[in-house]
């Protein structure tokens, strides 16, 4: 495992532990998808793509808020 993969794995584990405490009803599947979106776009100058992907993920998981 390289340093980047190890850091991602450590970040993922920390996120999972935190979510268990503060939002235990969030599915691991949803969390993994959100984590991957943020990881892929964390250094992007334009945050618009990340925002669009997160909005689409939330919409697909919980639907629109009325």
12 three-class SS: helix
Per domain, the residue ranges of the chain are 3-62
Alpha helices in 1-66 (DSSP H): 3-22, 28-41, 48-62
Greater confidence, 5 or 26? 26
Q: Note the pLDDT of residue 49.
A: 92
pLDDT band at 3 (very low <50, low <70, confident <90, very high): low
Contacts of 19 (CB under 8 A, 6+ apart): 26, 31
């Amino acid at each position: 495992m390289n340093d980047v993969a190890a850091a991602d794995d450590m970040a993922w584990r920390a996120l999972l532990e935190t979510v268990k405490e503060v939002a235990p009803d969030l599915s691991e599947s949803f969390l993994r998808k959100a984590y991957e979106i943020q990881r892929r776009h964390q250094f992007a100058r334009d945050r618009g793509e990340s925002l669009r992907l997160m909005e689409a993920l939330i919409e697909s998981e919980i639907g629109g808020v009325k």
